[in-house]
Every structure is written in structure tokens, then in C-alpha cells.
Amino acid sequence: MLRHQINPGLELRLLQPTDAPTLFALVDANRKTLREWLPWVDATTKLAHSQNFIAEALRDRAATRAFAAGIWSSGQLVGVIWHNHIDWANRVAFPAYWLVPEAQGRGIMAAACQAVIAHAFTQLRVDRVIVAVATENHRAAALVKRLGFTQISTLKKAEWLYDHFVDHHIYQRLNPAAPPRA
């Protein structure tokens, strides 16, 4: 996915090295809210960290087709959606995503996720998409439920968030075109 226009004001575009200053400024301006659920925020302290994130995503894309796309609303970068990992042997994609607070509450991430999931099912041809959501992250849980995901399990102490563990609910959405599993 190089570039995908969702509607006239909303676009997903593969992050490029030239986007690093914009990405770093966005994280830096929103670190207090982003760090509530995202474990990498405190480690993102300088431009080089955003440059590395983009460089690694571009390398992953070349190697495995996992990608990181900026979410651009009315021409402004407002968040990122990417595949943390694609398990090709088992045909599973593990997307991750965030939006700055100003861009939340407008259905932007729902539309971005729909596009990335449709791409994963039809272009990458994965059989399922799995998302782990901290049990107290109610906005993220509402989003996956709106997107038709089903909760399949819970992991206790699944993620260390700076100074405490959080539990995760694991949600999946199956590709309707995937062969049935016995």
C-alpha cells in the first residue's frame, strides 16, 4: 500500500524518510496522551528515533510486505497505522495504530483500519488479523468491536507499560475468503 485515498480529506500514505521530522514533532507534541497505551513513546526522544522507525518499516516492507502508513487528514499527519508483524507461515497480520487526540472521535481510525484490513485480506491474502487491546483501553476496544472483531482470549500481564503491566484482550477478524479450518 503506497498511497490510498479513503475520501477527499483522508489518505493513507507509506511513511518516507522525509516524513520523519513531522512524525517526531507529532509524537513529541502528544507524548503525554500517547504514552497512556503505547509502550514506545518514552523511548522516542529524538528525531533519529522516528527516522529509525520509518527506515525499519521500509526495510520490513521490502522483506515481508509489512508496512507503516501515515494517516493524513486534510493534509496533516494525524497518526500512523502499520503491521507490527506478518506471520506468513500462518497467514496472520498484526496491525497497530494510533491517532493524536485532536483527530479522535471522527471515525478516522475506523476508516483507516477498514482499508488496511481489506488490503490484508485481498492483497496480502492473510487468513486472519489479530489485535491485542489493553483491557482498560476502552476506546481501542470500541474500535475493534465496531470493526467486527471477536474477542478470542485474554492474556494476563501481557505488556509492560513503563511502570506497570497491563492485561490484553486478544481480538481477531477472519478473512471470509480464507479456507475453513477444521
How many CA atoms lie within 13 Å of 122's alpha carbon, on the beta-carbon side?
7
Question: What are the DSSP calls for 84-106, one per residue?
Answer: EEEETTTTEEEEEEEE-GGGTTS
Cα separation, 61 vs 56, in Å, equals 8
Residue with smaller CB distance to ligand COA, 62 or 87: 87
138: CB partners within 8 A, 6+ apart: none
What secondary structure letter does DSSP report for 107?
S
Build a one-symbol-per-residue string for 145-164: x at contacts with ligand COA by CB under 6 A, - elsewhere.
-x------------------
36 vs 87, beta carbon nearer ligand COA: 36
Contact 103, 78 (CB under 8 A): yes
Which 80-99 positions form the footprint of ligand COA (CB under 6 A)?
97-99
DSSP lists the bridge partners of residue 3 as: 13
Q: Is 71 in the site for ligand COA (CB under 6 A)?
A: no
Contact string 117-146 vs ligand COA (x = CB under 6 A): --------------x-x---x-xx--x--x
Q: How far is the CB of 23 from ligand COA (least distance, A)?
A: 14
Number of residues in contact with ligand COA, rule: CB under 6 A? 19
Question: Using CB under 6 A as the criterion, which residues of the chain lie in contact with ligand COA when the complex forms?
Answer: 37-38, 97-99, 104-110, 131, 133, 137, 139-140, 143, 146
